Structure 1
Amino acid sequence: MASHAFIKLVGGSIKQYITVDEVEELFHYYKDITSKTGEQLNFAYESSAFPYECKQANGYLTLSSEERGYSKMYVGVSSAGDEQPSFLQITLLSDSKYGDKNKANEFSKFLAKKLKGELTLFNGRKMYYYKR
């Protein structure tokens, strides 16, 4: 069975609405900053930090990897209505590997912190990255 994590954009968030293109830009930003960390450490860290290839299709992102221990995850953006803010959904399929689950947790925390949103993790626990 698939598992999901959600990032809800709230009144204290940086943005109320977000697009798939903007989420893809955040992943490219993540890849860029981790490659700079690797340069400072003299280590090829970018392939370990972001072992996925990002592709956009049908209104969601598919993150797929050929690396050992990784498979695939999906990131979608949805809006509950015109007056309701957007939310992001990170989905892991039932055949996802442990590396996918770890990276999905890492990415969801990164995205929630960057957007100052409310994160509901895969285990149902909530983390708040905005001022309450």
Structure 2
Amino acid sequence: MDNRAWIRLVENSTQTEVSLEDVKERLERYVDMASRTGRQLGWSYEEAAFPYTMEERTENGNSWLILKGKDPKMYRGLIIGVKQEAAEKGGHHTIQILLPPGATHGDKSKANEFCRYLAKAFQGELRLFNGRIMYFYPRK
């Protein structure tokens, strides 16, 4: 199994370009939706739905979102980045989700959940950690 998944934006996606700030906004919206659900249920659901702190790092001109787990026994962290493919490969924008060494099964489960959420939000093509592909854009 691979330690990364990616979401590729295609012609039929809601947008053809994506930035790290766009991804960060979508994840903040995810946390907001979880907190609203928690208020309706009467418990802090956002802690269970998003058990990470989010920080942005830049190294060698590349920016990454680092999600650090709040409970290291259950969740250690994830790395999310955005890149643009070479023009020969179509020039598509891609969101990558990486499981760092030492990631837990909980991290992988949350990464799959975030992948599906982001792919649905951007209507992209999702390649999961196990190699399977899910299409969230309108196909002809």
TM range (shorter): over 0.9
Q: How far apart, in 1, do the equivalents of 2:102 and 2:8 lie?
A: 26
Aligned position for 1:118: 125
Aligned position for 1:66: 70
Runs of 4 or more, structure 1, over 6 Å off, are none
Structure 2 unaligned spans of 5+: none
Using the TM superposition, give the Cα deviation of residue 57 of structure 1 relative to its aligned residue in structure 2, in angstroms.
Answer: 0.6
Q: How far apart, in 1, do the equivalents of 2:26 and 2:40 lie?
A: 21
Aligned position for 2:92: 85
Using the TM superposition, give the Cα deviation of residue 25 of structure 1 relative to its aligned residue in structure 2, in angstroms.
Answer: 0.7
Using the TM superposition, give the Cα deviation of residue 2 of structure 1 relative to its aligned residue in structure 2, in angstroms.
Answer: 6.5
When normalised by structure 2's length, the TM-score is 0.90
Structure 1 unaligned spans of 5+: none
Tell me the percent identity: 39
Q: How far apart, in 2, do the equivalents of 1:121 and 1:38 lie?
A: 28
Report 1:91-106 matches (<5 A): 91-106=98-113
Provide the secondary structure at the position in 1 that maps to 2:44.
coil
Provide the secondary structure at the position in 2 that maps to 1:61.
strand
Report 1:1-132 matches (<5 A): 3-58=3-58, 59-67=63-71, 68-81=73-86, 84-132=91-139
Residue type of the alignment partner of 1:21: E
Q: CA RMSD in A?
A: 1.4
Residue type of the alignment partner of 2:83: S
Please give the per-residue CA displacement for 1:66-91, whole angstroms capped at 9, x wherever unaligned.
Answer: 31300011000000146622101000
Q: How far apart, in 2, do the equivalents of 1:85 and 1:66 lie?
A: 33
When normalised by structure 1's length, the TM-score is 0.95
Q: How far apart, in 1, do the equivalents of 2:102 and 2:31 lie?
A: 25
Using the TM superposition, give the Cα deviation of residue 94 of structure 1 relative to its aligned residue in structure 2, in angstroms.
Answer: 2.8
Provide the secondary structure at the position in 2 that maps to 1:6.
strand
